Amino acid sequence: MPTDYTESLLKDNSTVISPFRVQADACDRLWVLDTGVIDLLGDTKQIAPNAIIVFDLKTDKLIRRYELPKNQVKDESFLANIVVDSDRSECDKAYAYLPDLGAYTLIVYSFHDNRSYRVAHHYFHFDPLQGDFNVGGVNFQWTDGIFGMAIGPINPDHSKDIYFHPLASTKEFKVSDYVLRNESYVTSKESFFEFKLVGDRGMNGQSTAEVYDKETGVIFYTQVNKDAIACWNVKRPYNLDTQDLVDSNSQTLIFPNDMKIDTEGNLWVLSDKMPTYIYETLDPEKINFRVFTGKIRDLIKGTNCEV
């Protein structure tokens, strides 16, 4: 049960309990995914509902707090990512996509309608042959479903492909945002074949986050079993001949967990040794958390991603 202190905090809609991912959008808003959970690896308590919290980056003021309806969050749910699609000319028409890696579903949120709905599909599930991980000397098995997502370029019909992959998988998939934004259609069986297989990352190609760079047409993604960051140009087929590694380091890139692209053409990557933290013990005498950055055009120069 919440304490008197936490109860007082929860009366403030701007309170953030347990943020798992954040994203700044094209409209100068910071979107925060708050799981509302404390002591995740110990005596876990859900002291607040899963929520989307949106702040104005220009004023630091709260714009909105949206709590996910109880019927959209299952006992096995684990929301660990948020991807926002917004246009500066139509800020009110933004959408947020929240992959549920535990319940193998995707929650779609409309900022304009201030409501959300759940989408289910076979491609959101983990691959039972790809659940074995070896990261930083730690061997473990995960069954995490849909996790990484990236919003692709604008197509001739003005739609966008939404790329996604389960964490315990080496496959990449996509679906049109037109499909995801049509609640009645995407939640019906008629939409099943709208979801497409893009390709495979090959052996040990499990990935957490991914992000699309509109200036180069390149999707960057993590390679957690390889201590690496990889890339792929969306103009090319998705296979081992067209993908490439932009960096790999078994000491400093142990479990690259998240990545972002800023407005100046830089890629930012966070590595955090999370498996060591979960299953063993972090050495406080060593550097366990690192943030890397690099110019995107420099990173892809000479790789298969430079087209």
The pLDDT assigned to 4 comes to 47
**Nearest-angstrom CA–CA distance, 291 and 307:** 27
Residue ranges, the chain, pLDDT below 50: 1-5
The pLDDT assigned to 276 comes to 97
The set of residues, in sequence order, having a beta carbon less than 8 Å from that of 271 and lying 6+ positions away, is 252, 253, 254, 255, 256, 257, 289, 290, 292
Looking at domain 121-300, its CATH superfamily turns out to be TolB, C-terminal domain (2.120.10.30)
Instruction: Tell me the domain boundaries of the chain.
Output: 121-300
